[in-house]
Amino acid sequence: MRINDSKHDANGDLRNGTFKQFFKDGALACIGEHINGEKTGEWKYYLANGGLKAVGEYVADQMVGEWNWYRENGELMQTGAFEKGKKSGIWRRYNPDGTLHDECEYSNDKKLKKS
SS (H, E, C) 34-83: EECCEEEEEEEEECCCCCEEEEEEEECCEEEEEEEEECCCCCEEEEEEEE
Give the C-alpha separation, 90 to 85, whole Å. Answer: 15
Domains of the chain: 17-114 (2.20.110.10)
In the predicted structure, residue 114 carries a pLDDT above the cut 90: no
Could you give phi then psi for residue 3, rounded to 5 degrees?
Answer: -75, 140
Residue 86 scores a pLDDT above 80 = yes
Question: From CA 44, how far away is CA 40, in angstroms rounded?
Answer: 12
Question: What pLDDT does residue 115 have?
Answer: 53
Q: Is the pTM of this model over 0.85?
A: yes
